[in-house]
Amino acid sequence: MAILAAAWIGAVAVLGGDSEVVVRDVQLNARPGANEHDEPTPVDKKDRRVENQEGGDAFTSSPSSKPASEVAECRESSNNNAAVDRPYGGMIPGRTKLSLSRETPLDWVRRCLEAVDEVEVISIRTSLLTPELIDLIAEVGNVRHITAGTVELSSGAGAALVGLNGVEAITLSGGAFEFMTSPLHTKADFHDNIKMYLSMRDLVRFETYSNFQVSDDVLGMIGQSRGITELILRNDDDLRRKNLITGEGLREIGRMRQLRSLTMHGFGPSLDHSGLSDLEDMLLGLPNLEELSLYGWPVEDHHLTRCLPVLQRLKFLDVRGTKLSAHFYSAIDSSWSLETLLASNSFGDVAAGAVSDLPNLTRLEIASSGITDEGLALLQRSVSLRSLNLNDVSGISPAGIRLVAGATSLKKLYLGDVPGLNSTFLFELARDSLLELLGLSEQEGVNHRLVRDIYSRTSVATLHVFKCKNLSKADIESLRNQFPTKSLEAVSKTLK
């Protein structure tokens, strides 16, 4: 039996502008029972005006010679939530989200694309993203974002994607594909949990998860973009040996001078000494960086100190797992705009004294660091620090914790698995401070009574009590019912 597609439109967002409802979902699904020659009435491109009427938006439609049951229908949710069916053929105003099934005829896709002002997202579900469909998207030219699930992308389709103009992002998940660009030839395997945001000429964000293998060629392809501002690359620990990035790849990144955010996790250990020198050159070419994450890179002070004058715009810096010492932190100038610093391992008291003078530092995560009470006393003088993470720090005492918690600006304090903290101290800490959030994960002193007393007698509104063995599942449910306005985030080891 021949298959046609039925379209429906539903308002999914309300934004400001000339029209109240400006973002809609349009879904083209298979519908059995229609004659294969039946088609929606062609769109009259002159008939595109949207008129606001009492009770909601309306759009005019061209007359249809087909019965409503035999043609596609547009379904619009008006401002008063009343659904109105109209024959397909009118102009769909505003920004539209379009979903396609595998059986959607290409001609129907064309008609729908031509019927809208702008396609915010076109989603191809369990379908083959063909060069023909990509060519159609390029021809109409009003699509901003393409998503495809369980996709099998041919090399021809990959080449077609490279030539797209106007598309700002492409999201591909599942399956495998081959990108072919001249002179670059890159193969990549995708898995179910990967997200990849691509657009060749208008790319603004590129992000990988899981075991996607980023290579020098991929980075060179990304570098062809005119406006890439965010590059996020993550590599699992067990895949570091497969890393395909060399010094040439780092130099490719260094040419993306408009980058504002750069995350590179799990790539550094596979680079040799010359590769780390290339890291310096890369950073020197990125004067607009506001966010930088080098988690796990074996960098030392001399690899980064030369770059500090170029990195003064940084607001976020993640150097956990590096070999940086207090010398590096002392070299950070107080004129920096740094707001968030994530460090560990070698971060100690001298480093604490250095960063305590940063006027804009609001968040400091130094879990598993070597800081002691002396360093906490130095942090206490910070006038801007609002969040401090001391999880798994073993060299601090209740006295030092009490001192830093007394800082007037501090609102969030994390003490997960810090030894030597009993329930009496934890309650007094909450009572005598201005804390709004207290992280007590894996603390043996946490029990039903302590949580009850903190919520009923202190200013703390949020508790993190993950893996607290003296707090049962029943305790958690009871406390949440007793204090519905409080936030209790917990995963209990016990299931009593």
Q: What is the DSSP string of 27-89?
A: EEEEEETS-TT--PPPP-TT---EEEETTEEEE-----SS-GGGS-EEEEE-TTS-EEEEEBT
Q: Tens of pLDDT along 35-58?
A: 333 333 333 333 322 222 333 332
CA pair distance 124, 135, nearest whole angstrom: 15
On whether the pTM is more than 0.75, the answer is no
Residue 28 has pLDDT above 50, yes or no: no
Q: Three-state SS for 406?
A: coil
Distance CA 20, CA 31 (A): 31
How does pLDDT run across 334-353, given as a tens digit for each residue?
778 899 999 988 899 999 99
* C-beta of residue 329 within 8 angstroms of C-beta of residue 354: yes
How many whole angstroms separate alpha carbon 194 and alpha carbon 208? 7
Answer for the pair 173, 149: CB distance below 8 angstroms, yes or no: yes
Domain boundaries along the sequence of the chain: 1-127
pLDDT for res 144: 74
- The beta-strand segments (E) located in 102-250 are 116-124, 145-153, 169-180, 185-189, 197-198, 205-207, 230-234
Bigger pLDDT: 277 vs 350: 350
Which segment of 23-32, 82-91, 484-493 scores lowest on mean pLDDT?
82-91
Round to whole Å and give the CA distance between 12 and 24.
6
Residue type at 417? Answer: D
For 374, counting Cβ atoms within 10 Å of its Cβ (0-12 exposed, 13-18 middle, 19+ buried), the class is: middle
And the tokens for 203?
């790319």
pLDDT band at residue 220 under the 50/70/90 scheme? confident
Rounded CA-CA distance 361/317 in Å is 11
Mean pLDDT score across all residues of the chain: 72
CA distance 243 to 482: 51
- Tokens representing 339? 């707001």
In this prediction, residue 495 carries a pLDDT of 34
* Mean pLDDT (whole number) for 252-257: 92
- Of the candidates 344, 296, 287, 338, which has an alpha carbon nearest to the alpha carbon of residue 317? 338
